[in-house]
Amino acid sequence: MKLGKLQRLGIVLSILWVIGATCYQAVTTSDNGLKILNNSLAFCLNVNPSKECWSEWERDREAMTDPYWKMALLNSMIPVPIVWFLVCLSIFTYRWVMRGGGKSSP
């Protein structure tokens, strides 16, 4: 089966989407985790300035800044089949309308 130019372009764009969206989401998740962790450290130091705050920060740092690649990959792959379906439906509808849309003869 030979793929047309638009189908090949769609496949390339889908692959680029999955790679880009996965990286973006993983980095954003990691950055947000670090912001939350730094805010909790600042609060802890304001309330009780001690070494305990830093030990908690060190303990939680790895868990909060882990980029969660599997979840990011899953979330970035979900829109791909939905968009493919909508594009195919749009093309089918356009072609159906241009053909005459099942008009009946009098």
Reported as a single tens digit per residue, the pLDDT across 42-95 is: 888 888 777 787 787 788 877 777 768 888 888 999 999 999 999 999 999 998
pTM of the shown model:
0.70
CA–CA dist 54, 82 (Å, integer): 45
pLDDT digits (tens, 9 = 90+) for 75-88: 999 999 999 999 99
The angle that helices 5-47 and 51-65 make with each other, rounded to 10 degrees, is 170
Rounded-to-10 torsion of CA 11, 14, 16, 19 = -130
Three-state DSSP class for residue 106: coil
Other C-beta atoms closer than 10 Å to the C-beta of 76 total: 19
Amino acid at 94: Y
